Structures are given as structure tokens and as C-alpha cells.
Structure 1
Amino acid sequence: MRLAVAGGGSTYTPELIDGFARLRDTLPVSELTLIDPDTERLELVAGLARRIFAAQGHDATVTTTADPEAGVDGADAVLLQLRVGGQAARQLDETWPLECGCVGQETTGAGGLAKALRTVPVVLDIAERVRRTNPDAWIIDFTNPVGIVTRALLQAGHKALGLCNMAVNLQRKFAKLLDVMPEEIHLDHYGLNHLTWELGVRLGGPGGTDVLPKLLTEHVDGLALDVRMPRGVLETLGAFPSYYLRYYYAHDETVREMRGKPSRAEEVAAIERELLTMYGDPKLTEKPALLSRRGGAFYSEAAVALAAALLGGDAGGWTGDGTGDGADARRSGRGPGGARPSVQVVNLRNDGTMPYLPDDAVIEVPAEIGRDGAVALPVPAAGPLQTGLVAHVTAYEDLALDAALHGGRERVFKALLAHPLIGQYDRADALTDRLLASNREHLAWA
């Protein structure tokens, strides 16, 4: 099986390699191609990838290229983990919105729109190369903002699903609190990428007992601390919100905090410099502990499980705890003998799952995954606190994608005006000017 990773020079990549090596029985990768325009960085990452494979007795070959078309040619699946403009662009995304009194963040609000405008054209170009060389290949998008990027891919007719590591992290968090194995936990995960709630936490599968009330009773203080919200908010919601919802529920407080400390981009840039130095050490044969501070924990487990299910592997539904090798993993994917489909949280077309949204909206919910793609499971009933915000952000995403595909100051302004974190014409106007000034080198139409 051959996989390609666009953005293979990312410091995330050794996390992915570690998963491929440990879970070889789940996803038998024989060749991995890392694609990145930064060839110096790419070779550092590739060198560590080869050493990780060798140290774990995995015989997969690792090749590198700066040419996307050559890199994706012949791949069974292509993983996208791009950052157009690098950490320097992220630093801008996280700072200029603060000048207008808005959250500075790379995946939501004005910064998230800037990232979408830079990213969508590049992703669609890569996807077209995949379609030309091997149209049956699956595209798995880990590139933020995942919802908008995945929607762009699907509207262009590509075989694509979006992936985020948040649900797999929560599965493990709740399993630890309940002292059970992660595969015993099913999440009633509801919403859009980076705008989700756990409406239920079920033991034993989609029809299992909902233990979220127990968690919110016995562990509410710790859970509230995790998402940096008062315990009373969680108790009132009766659901567990994504920590991204703090940008909505405590916007002004968050802006004040952001203005008083270094940006996350600065922190990540410093971590990346140290990681890249480590990656160049020929004695390093495993992912370093520092990588856990980079973000993306359990990304490899989620990516392996999704790719295996889409490609008809024997263990597409692996949902273990990430500590053992593939031989010890639980299996529930559709493999030889017609095993049941794997259930995983992905970003996919709505197609009536949330009837108040258009069919072509991209939602983030549990779905059955098999060789033919993903089918969303029925979602639990959500209240106005969820449906109202989801509908609002979906409308913004529609306008954001229009701006990313067609450009133009007016389209950017409309998207910013529609975003619930902005919503005022004077702010939207000022943010539009700052967005364009900060991103001209990445926007062909600006």
C-alpha cells in the first residue's frame, strides 16, 4: 500500500510515522512519499521517518519530492497537512485581529478566514493532480480549517473526508476517567469542525448507556478546567463543549488574555526549531517527547484507522489506546469476510443529517466508514444553543468558501460580517483591510 503526505516536512510527520510503524497490521504501508517544497526541512523529517521505521522493524520505504504531481502518482491515499505561509502567516493570523478587538486564532474568526483563503486554492491544485494521476485515491484532509477545506474538496467532486484529532483525544480522556478501554467509548459528537459538543458519552457503542451525566457530576471541575469554562456553564449545557467554544462563550475575556501573552504561533515556532534540531540527530530513532507539545496528539491513530477503513484494510476500526502494536489492536473495520464498518468521527457532507443545514454543508459527526466512503450515523436531538450556532457558522463557511474560490474584497467583507465572532460592519471593514494587507503574497487576486 502506498501513501503520500502533502506537507510531509511538517514537524507533525513523525507522529504519523510512529503510528504507521506501530499499527502495521492495521495499515500495511509499503511505501510512503513525503511531499514538501521546503526540501531541507523535508530531508530532516524523512531521515527521522526512516530511522523510526527501521527501529521498529518496519520495511516500508520513504521517498521525498517537492513535486506534488510526482508525489501523489500511484498513491492509494493522500493525506493533506499543509500550512501555507508557515508559522509566520499563523503569527499574523493570531495578531492583527486583536487590533480590532477580535479573537486572533488560526482556525476560526478572521484569522481562520485568512488561513482558508490561503489554503483552499493550494489544496484544490493538489487534489486535481491526484484526480489526474489516480482518481480512485482517497484524500484525507487534516489541514485547517478542516470544515471549509473539506467542503471545497467535496464540491469539486473529489473523494475526500476531513479528519480532526479532537474526538479521538476526548474518547481517551473519558475512557481514562471511567477506567475502561477507549474502544468501549462512543461519542455523540455533534457540530462542525472546531465547533462541537459531546451530547452523550456512551459505553458499548452507539446504543450504549449514556454516562455523560455521571461524568458531569463526578468530574465536572476537571472537565471545566480542561475547556477553561466555569463548571456552571457545563452543568447548564448538560453537554461537554469543545474548548474552541470558549472563543464564543467568553470572547472578550479571551481577547484580553491573548493581548497579554505571546501568541501560540510564537510558542509553536520555538518548539518547531527545537524539534527540527532533534530530527537532525542520527541517533534519534523515535518521536521525541517534545512533539506532544506541538499538538496533534493521537493524530496518527485517527489517520491510520480512517485510511485502513477507506482502503478495505483488516482493521479499519482500530480504536485502541495507542500503547500497543497492531497485533493487539481491536478491529471493527470492513475487511475480508464482510466485517462491520468502522465507526469514526469525520468531516463529511451533511446530506440531511442535520435537516436545518444545506446538504452540501460539511459536518463533524460519527460515521460508518468503508471502502465506499462515509455514511453519517443518526445524530441525537440538539437544542437551540447548538443548532443556532451551527447554522450561523455554516452560513459563514459558505461565504468563506466563496471568497476562497473567487476572491474579491467584497466577498471577504461579507464572510467576516457573517461570522458570529465579528458581526459588526465597522469591525468587518477594518479586518478586511488587515487581512488583505497581511496576505497579499498568498492571494493571487489581491
Structure 2
Amino acid sequence: MMTKSFSVVIAGGGSTFTPGIVLMLLDNLDQFPIRKLKLYDNDKERQDKIAGACEIFIHEKAPEIEFLATDDPEQAFTDVDFVMAHIRVGKYAMRELDEKIPLKYGVVGQETCGPGGIAYGMRSIGGVLEIIDYMEKYSPDAWMLNYSNPAAIVAEATRRLRPDSKVLNICDMPVGIEDRMAEIAGLSSRKEMKVRYYGLNHFGWWTEIQDSEGNDLMPVLKKHIKEFGYTPNANHHPTEKSWNDTFTKARDVYATDPDVLPNTYLQYYFFPQQMAKKSNPDFTRANEVMAGREAFIFSQCQKIVEEGSSKNSEIEIDDHASYIVDLARAIAYNTGERMLLIVENNGAIENFDSTAMVEIPCIVGSNGPEPLAVGKIPQFQKGLMEQQVSVEKLVVEAWVEKSSQKLWQAIILSKTVPGADVAKAILEDLIEANREYWPQLEEKPLQPII
């Protein structure tokens, strides 16, 4: 029987995802009772646009919950049990540059993959570490559930720089794909599936999928994905074109190894020239988001505040994010929930770097995650993962050492980049664009390409 209620702070309170997550938390109070809900963001003006609507949601649905929106770390992080972090250092303006600078050189422009993901990672490390430090200073017994991107680089940074902190790094992309798998298989929910998966964040493969009765779902899923990708049917999920294309493209990624089912982000590594060529360098995904979701959420929040009611709101509950409640409940109530988390390998994948931050199934309880053994992985996946995990480690080393050389090496090593000369040109532009956000890199110039 649940008797305790919890205090939660959402770090990144000005995010356009925050209203949907607040609604999701309010919709799950029977599973995860909340006594206090706080929003924290260092951009007060942006957060204020979101907070007014969230306060109305809470007043209407659960007025007993104490609400606070603040840019003061002490107020935000004092007396909290869970920190739910989804920050974006530099906001969408910097995401736009992450995407457009590589595209200028014919390279994939994407927020978590390739040079754009590296640039974003260099910005995110300091911000995530700052939140961990606030949590440990003001609420040392709290847990941080971190779903800030790029999760792979952030996870490596927390492993190396805050190894004893109570931080769980998670990602919603496998959840989104599993939702589609469940629909393809004729199930009502992904929670009716038991999966085995391994890889790095945004860089992995499902090896087994069973239903709750132990029936093997892989044959039916493989047959469908070979023809349609992760699109359940021709008329399904009318979402943004870029996402529709991504889910359909999974059939080409699947063809590289038909024994397993791939994460959709592998498209950027397996078909980098194709992905760059099909992108509009003048209107990237960041522009789509700013013109679409960001404008919509801000206008809806303003409407709610002006009307003093959410009655006419079109903002929807983010059911997709309910995995956050599952994770919090697992820690709070020691439920032994089985979830995909980003954890230190430490032998779970036998023939892979033990210090790598890998994404694998874990059993989660009050002491945190217990990774499940994966065993040995095939040479194809092993080779790909070794290259990509080296990129992630080099980025963190570059941040720690303030090394432009290490950062150049990371970009050279990315499968999305064709050569060291292109990597150098991209890096020089990224350094200039990120002077306000990255550590001051050493003055030693990069060697010229002859």
C-alpha cells in the first residue's frame, strides 16, 4: 500500500515538453503520489511562459499539490526526492546551428548524431553536472532521472566525473519504437512485451521480443519491418514528415542485419550521405520544432493563462513519457521494474569495453539498477559500437582537458564524417558558434590539412 508522497523538481521547466509531462504526472498520481511539484530553469522568462499553465493544471486536477516555479537553485532543489532533468543548453537556437553547420559541408546535421551531437554534448556536460551538484548540496538523498540529450555523452560524463552520484540516464526513443512494435504485433501496450536489447544510446538492437505469455514476436515483427519499417500501416501516425521518413527508413537499416531489429537512429550512421543529401540546409528539424511544437505550446500556455482554465486547451498528456513514472516508482517502492537504462557495462556485454556506458535491460529497485547479462555480441555490432563509444569518450576527454585536438579526433572518428579535413572545417565553425557555451579550449591551433 502506497502511503508516502513525493517531492519532484523538473529541471528544464521551460521545455516545451514540460506541460505534457506535468499532465502525465497528474494522470498517474494513483501510481506515484506527489506532494510538491517544482519547475526549475535558469531562463526565467521562458519558464514563466510554461509555468502559468502548469499551475492551472495542478489547481484543477490536484490542488493539494504544492507548486513552485523558480530560477533559484536552493528553492528548487531543497526538499526533493526526485529530479527529473531534461535540459537543453543553448535552446533551439543552438540546435539549429548544430544541424546547419555540418550540412554546410555535406555531413549529417542532427542533434544527437555526428558533429551536431558532439557540439550539443559539449554544451550539455556542464549543465547536467551543475544540476547533479545542486541536488547533492540541497537534497543529498534524492535521485536524478536524467533524460537530457545527447544521453550517451552525458552518461559518459556522469560516469567519469560524478561516479558516486545517484543518477539514472534514460532515453525515450526505445519506448517510442516499442510502442510501434506492440501495435504491429497486435498488442495493446508495449508493457505486454519482454525485450532483450543492447547497444549504446541511439545506437542499438533488439535481439528478443516476447509477449507476456512467452510467445516469440520476432518473426511477425521482422516480416513487417522488412517491408514497412516501423510504420504499423500505410495510413498510420500522421506526424511530421521527418519522423514518418525515419520510421519507414528502418527497413533499410534492418537489411544490414536481419537477425535483429535496429534503433532508428542507426540510419544516420549507415546512410550518412543519403541523410545529409535529403536534408534542407535552410530549414532543418530545429526550424520545424520552433515553427511547430514550440509555437503551439507557447500559444496554448498563454491561452490557458488568459482564460484561467485548461478547458479549451489542446495540450495533450504525454503518455509516451510514462516510463519516467515507472522508473521513479521502481526506486520509490522497490518494484523490480525491468527497464532499458544507460549503465556502465562492467561485463554485462562480455566482449566489450567494461567502462562503456551501454543501453541494456536492467532490474530497477530502491538501490538503483541491476544490469542483466547480455553475453557476447557479434563482430558487426561490436565493431560499430567500439568506434562510436570512442567518439563519446573522446568528447568527454575534450571537455575535461579543454582539448580541441581530442574534439577533432572525436569528429574524425564519427561514421557520419568522411575525413579529417571535413572534420577540421566543421570543428572550426562549431568552436566559433559555441564560444559562449563550451569550456575555453586550449589556444594551440589545429594542424593545417596539406
Interval of TM-score (by shorter of Structure 1 and Structure 2): 0.7 to 0.9
1:348 touches 1:363 (CA, 8 Å); kept in 2? yes
Q: Is the contact made by 1:9 and 1:38 (CA closer than 8 Å) also made in structure 2?
A: yes
Give the Cα separation in 1 of the matches to 2:364 and 2:167. Answer: 12
Report the CA distance between 1:355 and its aligned residue. Answer: 2.5
Match of 2:327 in 1: 306
37-46 or 159-168, which moves further after superposition? 37-46
Match of 1:424 among 395, 405, 419: 419
Question: 33, 39, 45: which is aligned to 2:44?
Answer: 39
Within-5 A mapping of 1:23-38: 23-38=28-43
- The question of whether the paired residues in 1 share the 8 Å contact of 2:253 and 2:270 is answered with no
Contact preservation (8 Å) 1:6, 1:34: yes
Q: Is 2:254 the counterpart of 1:234?
A: yes
Deviation at 1:172, TM superposition (A): 2.0
The CA deviation string for residues 237-288 of structure 1, in whole angstroms up to 9 with x for no partner, is 2322111111112111111011466200001111202310111113452796
1:171 positional shift = 2.5
What is the CA distance between 1:103 and its match in structure 2? 0.5
- TM-score after normalising by structure 2: 0.86
Which residue matches 2:207? 199
Q: 1:75 to 1:403 in 2, by over 3 A?
A: same
* Residue 284 of structure 2 is aligned to residue 263 of structure 1: yes
Match of 2:172 among 161, 165, 171: 165
What letter is aligned with 2:207?
L
Q: What are the equivalent positions in structure 2 for 1:124-143 lying under 5 Å apart?
A: 124-143=129-148
Tell me, in whole angstroms, the C-alpha distance in 2 between the residues paired with 1:287 and 1:135: 41
**Residues 180, 230 of structure 2: 8 Å contact kept:** no
Q: Which amino acid in structure 1 is aligned with residue 354 of structure 2?
A: D
Partners in 2 of 1:219 and 1:108 — Cα distance?
A: 23
Change over 3 Å in CA distance of 1:132–1:232 after alignment to 2:
closer
| CA distances 1:143-170 after superposition (whole Å, capped 9, x unpaired) | 1011211222232121111111122222
Structure 2 residue 91 is matched with structure 1 residue 104: no
Give CA deviations for 1:80-120 in whole Å, capped at 9, x if unaligned.
Answer: 11111111000000000112221011111101111111110
2:388 is the counterpart of 1:406: no
Mapped partners of 2:250, 2:12: distance in 1: 38
Pairwise mapping of residues 142-221 of structure 1 onto structure 2 (< 5 A)? 142-155=147-160, 156=162, 157-182=164-189, 183-204=191-212, 208-218=214-224, 220-221=226-227
What fraction of aligned residue pairs are identical, expressed as a percent?
28
Task: Give the Å deviation of 1:404.
Answer: 2.1
Larger displacement relative to structure 2 (277-286 or 61-70): 277-286
> How far is the alpha carbon of 1:371 from its aligned partner?
0.6
Q: Is it true that 1:13 corresponds to 2:18 in the alignment?
A: yes
Which deviates more from structure 2 when the two are superposed, residues 143-152 or residues 87-96?
A: 143-152
Please say if residues 50 and 61 of structure 1, whose CA atoms lie closer than 8 Å, have aligned partners that are also in contact: no
In the alignment of these two chains, the number of paired residues is 414
TM-superposed CA distance for 1:74, in Å, is 1.7
Match of 1:371 among 361, 366, 383: 366
Match of 1:54 among 52, 59, 78: 59
The question of whether the paired residues in 1 share the 8 Å contact of 2:250 and 2:267 is answered with no
One-letter amino acid of the structure 2 residue matched with residue 227 of structure 1: F
The alignment yields a C-alpha RMSD, in angstroms, of 2.2
Partner of 1:356: 351
2:298 partner amino acid: L
- Distance in structure 1 (CA, Å) of the matches to 2:312 and 2:366: 31
* 60-69 or 139-148, which deviates more: 60-69
Which sections of structure 1, spanning at least 5 residues, go unmatched?
313-332, 335-340
The answer to whether the 8 A contact 1:165-1:298 is kept is no
Identify if the C-alpha distance between structure 1 residues 363 and 9 changes in structure 2 by more than 3 Å, giving closer, same or farther. Answer: same
**Aligned with 1:410: secondary structure?**
helix
Q: Give the Å deviation of 1:383.
A: 2.1
State the Cα deviation string for residues 303-355 of structure 1 (Å, max 9, x = none).
1111111122xxxxxxxxxxxxxxxxxxxx52xxxxxx110111111111123
Answer yes or no: is the 8 Å Cα contact 2:228–2:248 preserved in 1: no
The gaps in structure 2 that reach 5 residues or longer are 1-5, 232-245, 442-450
Q: CA 1:83 to 1:62, structure 2 compared with 1: closer, same or farther past 3 Å?
A: same
Aligned counterpart for 1:250 among listed residues 271, 280, 288: 271
Check conservation: 1:417, 1:425, Cα contact below 8 A: yes
Change (3 A) 1:230 1:274: closer
